[in-house]
Amino acid sequence: MSQPALLASRLGPAWPLLVLLSLCVAGTLPQARAQDAAAREIGWRASGSGGAVTAGRSREVVSAALDVLAEGGNAADAAATSLLGLSVTEHGLFASGGEVPLLIYDAKRKEVKVLSGLGRAPLDPRAIEWFYKNGIPSGGSMKSAPVPGMLHLVTTLLIRYGSVSFERAVGPTLKILDRKDRKSRNWHPRLAVTLRRLVEAERSTKGSRAEKIAAARDRFYKGDIAEELEKWYISVGSFLRRKDLAAHRTLLEDPVTVSYRGYKVHKCGPWTQGPYLCQTLSLLEGYDLKAMGHFSADYVHTVVEALKLSMADRDEFYGDPEFVKVPLARLLSPGYARMRRGLIDPQRASLLRRPGDPLAGLALRGPQVATARQYTIPVQDTTTCLAADRFGNVVAATPSCNLVGNRPGPPGVTQGNRLRSLNTTLGHPNRIQPGKRPRITLTPTLVTRDGKPVIAISVAGGDLQDQVTLNVLLSHIDFGLAAHEAVVVPRFATSHHQGSFDPNPDRGAAFISPGGLTVHKDVPEPIRRELTARGHKLRVVGGAIAHPVMLVIDPDTGVIHGAGDPRVGRSIGVLSPVP
């Protein structure tokens, strides 16, 4: 007897009904799977009401972070999951021992805060003496490695703002590390062991979720993993030691904030380059940019000249505020902006380096000759990370590591060369000191309006980051472009500033290109000719100028519109997609 006939004889009259039910269930399964698949969308642009994530170029990491949101996790959980995953999938641009400045809008507290996921210089004064005697290596060296900041940042983010365990956040990363395929690397198993030891510490600790996560963090910074890191440091000539790891903290700070055309733009402090974006916006608020026309010669010229003034102040005054008194209040004051605005010649590009004198209340500290140089220092960073949830929380982060040849150690951890963003210029606010944070280029952006988050931006691109953020912001705020339009229109940036990766004690020699202006080839030729006539030293490129991603949030509907420049493979994922 056949199997169906045998089942029919045993089930009797119920057999036809069961067959019908099984057919109905079988018919609904593909439909249910299709509905599940339709509940999310991943691409270079997407809109949704259930949350959104951008994570570099990795759709796999985006999908893993969306899973966390779909399970009820929040933006902090999704960002932590993304950062851990990106440290593997974007290795070379970011790494497990890298840096992450992060901004978060907390919907419960209705506030924006900064998490400083940035490591510091060694505490040993002898190490600092070595740097002043020999210089800070700029071409790739573990001597230029700061304390690893990423894992402390991720665990602090989860403790203060998250809802999931470290084990849940790191799970997708472990799956990536465990795979045996063409993308696997010889350090993957070593890093997997290290991360599983953190999970073990979390599991074995009694107490609250926060206490468990803190135990995982302490095992890395104070326990047996710290011992292994120290052995590695000694073997490769790094100045870092266990006391540096044990002393490390992820600081919780207030953002630097400026108003611009009804919006509030929030940036990390002067241990990043972020505040100069605020200074530039203050300068530009005195102009009717829309009347000039998008990508007109007047528009590009005015924006670039404002950038030159703000970046001169960046190079002159910014540094770790725990070590130097940065005159931010005066740099951001309306009166200072009015004085500095008067220095902009509407017809001629400045070829001078022109920092102001906010303490003396003067528009100009004294123009300084800017000399051109051949900038040969290698730059290798960064990636991007944004997350927003249906509860109203938003995270913007700019993860990086600046590897430049540094290799993973025995624990699988990779650290970069970020100390080369300091210098050995006596009296300079960004000179190297024990335990000091370098003034970095990494600079995420959060924008609020009427107290609600409406824009988040992350850009990869060194000294280009806030210049491209400015491009994107102005395209959206002043010219009304949607997110997917703002990230693809032609961009421009100036090289009229000091190189942030050059530790040269002669800061004049660190200047890159007086009057230098890079524009995309899609800026019309007549505009380019006019800019050249005004004295700008033009360089025309066909590729992307930095790598932006952007979220725009409708505060009334909660719909999140996201986009990343498709020319550089940026991915956006959303839950509950909408057209």
**pTM for this one?**
0.92
In the predicted model, what is the mean pLDDT of residues 460-474? 96
- What pairing do the DSSP bridges indicate for beta strands 560-564 and 45-48? antiparallel
**Dihedral angle over CA of 29, 34, 38, 43, nearest 10:** 140
Over residues 486-511, the mean pLDDT reads 94
- The pLDDT-based confidence of 259 (bands split at 50, 70, 90) is very high
Q: What is the pLDDT of residues 177-190, one digit of tens each?
A: 999 887 889 999 99
pLDDT at position 3 over 90: no
Report residue 150: phi and psi, to 5°: -60, -50
- DSSP class of residue 463 equals G
Which is nearest to 433 in space by CA: 419, 444, 454?
Answer: 419
- Residue 193 confidence (pLDDT) above 50: yes
Which class for 23: exposed (0-12), middle (13-18), buried (19 or more C-beta within 10 A)?
Answer: exposed
134: burial class by Cβ within 10 Å (0-12, 13-18, 19+)?
exposed
**Calculated CA dihedral for residues 283, 286, 288, 292, nearest 10 degrees:** -50
Closest CA to 250 of 409, 114, 374: 114
Which single residue is written with the structure tokens 């902006």?
337
pLDDT confidence band for 375 (50 / 70 / 90)? low
Q: Which residue has the tokens 């902009």?
A: 344
What is the predicted pLDDT for the residue at 367? 64
- pLDDT higher than threshold 50 for residue 12: no
pLDDT at position 29 over 80? no
pLDDT attached to residue 381: 65
Residue 13 pLDDT > 60, yes or no? no
Split at pLDDT 50, 70, 90, the class of 166 is very high
| pLDDT at position 28 over 90 | no
The mean pLDDT value for 463-473 works out to 97
CA-based angle 346:312:306, to the nearest 5? 30
Give the least confident one: 177-186, 509-518, 530-539: 177-186
Confidence of residue 113 (pLDDT cuts 50, 70, 90): very high
Measured distance CA(263)–CA(281) in Å, rounded? 11
Mean of the pLDDT values across residues 318-336?
A: 98
Contact 571, 564 (CB under 8 A): yes
- The reported pLDDT for the residue numbered 371 is 67
> Mean of the per-residue pLDDT values for the chain?
92
The whole-angstrom separation of Cα 191 and Cα 557 is 42
* pLDDT tens column, 87-96: 999 999 999 9
**pLDDT over 90 (residue 9):** no
Query: For residue 364, is pLDDT > 80?
Result: yes
C-alpha to C-alpha distance for 74 and 203, rounded to whole angstroms: 22
List the single range of 24-33, 67-76, 209-218, 453-462 with lowest mean pLDDT: 24-33
Cα–Cα dist 142/417, whole Å = 7
Residue-level pLDDT at 402: 82
- 3-state per-residue secondary structure call for 209-268: HHHHHHHHHHHHHCCHHHHHHHHHHHHHCCCCCHHHHHHCCCEEECCEEEEECCEEEEEC
pLDDT tens per residue, range 32-44? 333 344 499 999 9
Is the model's pLDDT at 524 over the cut of 50? yes
Mean pLDDT of 250-262: 98
Closest C-alpha among 116, 410, 92 to residue 269:
116
Helices 297-317 and 275-284 meet at what angle, rounded to 10? 140
For range 41-64, the mean pLDDT: 96
Split at pLDDT 50, 70, 90, the class of 579 is confident
pLDDT of residue 380: 54
Per-residue model confidence as pLDDT tens digits over 408-435: 999 999 999 999 999 999 999 999 999 9
What is the pLDDT, as a whole number, of residue 246?
98
- Distance (Å, whole) CA 151 – CA 156: 8
For residue 236, is it left (φ>0), alpha (ψ between -120 and 50) or beta? Answer: alpha
pLDDT band at 109 (very low <50, low <70, confident <90, very high): very high
Q: Is the pLDDT of residue 21 over 50?
A: no
Residue 162 has pLDDT above 70, yes or no: yes
Using CA atoms, how far apart are residues 310 and 133, in angstroms rounded to an integer?
32
Residues 6+ apart with CB under 8 A from 433: 121, 128, 323
Alpha-carbon distance of 530 to 517, in angstroms, equals: 13
